[in-house]
Amino acid sequence: MAKVFMFDALRLATDEEMEKDDCVCVIGEDVGHYGGSYKVTKDLHAKYGDLRILDTPIAENSFTGSIGAAMTGLRPIVEGMNMSFLLLAFNQIANNAGMMRYTSGGNFKIPIVIRGPGGVGRQLGAEHSQRLEAYFQAIPGLKIVACSTPYNAKGLLKSAIRDNNPVIFFEHVLLYNLQEEIPDTDYLLPLDKAEIVRKGKDVTILTYSRMRHHVVQAANSVVKEGYDPEIIDLISLKPLDMKTIGDSIKKTHRVIIVEECMKTGGIGAELIARINEDFFDELDSKVVRLSSQDIPTPYNGKLEQATVIHPNQIIDAIKESKVKQSI
């Protein structure tokens, strides 16, 4: 076991897969000589050269077109310097990456990973604080993954690189310096499975990405007072692992969703719809949703913090669910 930062876990995954398969390449802004804005490709240019670690102009609407490279046999990893800028490439991601395997009758595979930092950072401004997971969730043909720890970041990225379908891989800008011990040996994690972070019986808390850590912090506080929440890190945002979610709901009969995504049309909205469709009879109370406010993220630090969910709000929601249970 070795203790590594999350950016290093992602770098190790990239390095190992590039070493294993000559078809794997990285393309994006500053991924080469500079080593990536968050050092995910540090030192890889010296090892693999210009043709496999390719620096590009600032033009997401152009270099995301490496979907064509994926169609012809390569396995490109496209790094967005900030996931917000991938809106410039929405057409390529939706109409080409998402649909080409289907519209070609299976003649083309699209083994491409589109990854990079997103989420609300620390005073990055509205344009750099986008949460695009809900934007992409509506596109058929995509797999969407949100890593949350160094361990799952490495295992999920390796699986994403080997997958023959397009994978949108979300990393949170404030988790790159998170440290954790991970195995020295090669390992893969499934792209379509949620993780039960903590088993409990009182209430099911569904979350992902950075909010996983806020939920764990809140749970650690309330456990001392006799509360017993079950925490599930969704990891796979498309497809949703409804089997794991459903099994938990059948046990707790209560649900709290904690997300950094905006409330309107967010991942939580889709979760509520699916839960009501599939597990409505298992619920003893309505699903509680804790989401970011539907406003552009302010640059001002205090206002920025006021737009997202914090552990004290999660604590209140857990305690409220227990009150309803006792009634």
Q: Is 127 among the catalytic positions?
A: no
> In the chain, count of helices (H) and strands (E)?
13, 14
Please list, in sequence order, all residues whose beta carbon lies within 8 angstroms of the beta carbon of residue 19, skipping any fewer than 6 positions away: none
Closest CA to 307 of 238, 253, 259, 245: 259
Please list, in sequence order, all residues whose beta carbon lies within 8 angstroms of the beta carbon of residue 312, skipping any fewer than 6 positions away: 218
Task: Determine the Cα–Cα distance for residues 314 and 256; give it in Å rounded to an integer.
Answer: 9
From the candidates 128, 172, 213, 253, give the one annotated as an active-site residue.
Answer: 128
Cα–Cα–Cα angle for 173, 136, 55, rounded to 5 degrees: 55
Please check whether residue 246 is in contact with residue 277, taking contact to mean a CB–CB distance below 8 angstroms. no
Q: Structure tokens of 202? A: 């009182």
Q: Structure tokens of 8? A: 């290093």
Q: Is 128 among the catalytic positions?
A: yes
Half-sphere exposure of 206 (CA within 13 A, CB side): 31
Q: How far apart are the first and last CA of the chain?
A: 47
Please list, in sequence order, all residues whose beta carbon lies within 8 angstroms of the beta carbon of residue 185, skipping any fewer than 6 positions away: none
Cis-peptide into 239, omega within 30 deg: yes
Please check whether residue 192 is in contact with residue 143, taking contact to mean a CB–CB distance below 8 angstroms. yes
From the candidates 60, 171, 195, 304, give the one annotated as an active-site residue.
Answer: 60
Closest CA to 147 of 101, 182, 122, 123: 182
Closest CA to 146 of 232, 63, 74, 68: 232
Q: What is each CA distance from 117 to 95, 124, 190, in whole angstroms?
A: 23, 12, 21
Q: How many residues does the chain have?
A: 327
* Catalytically annotated residues: 60, 128
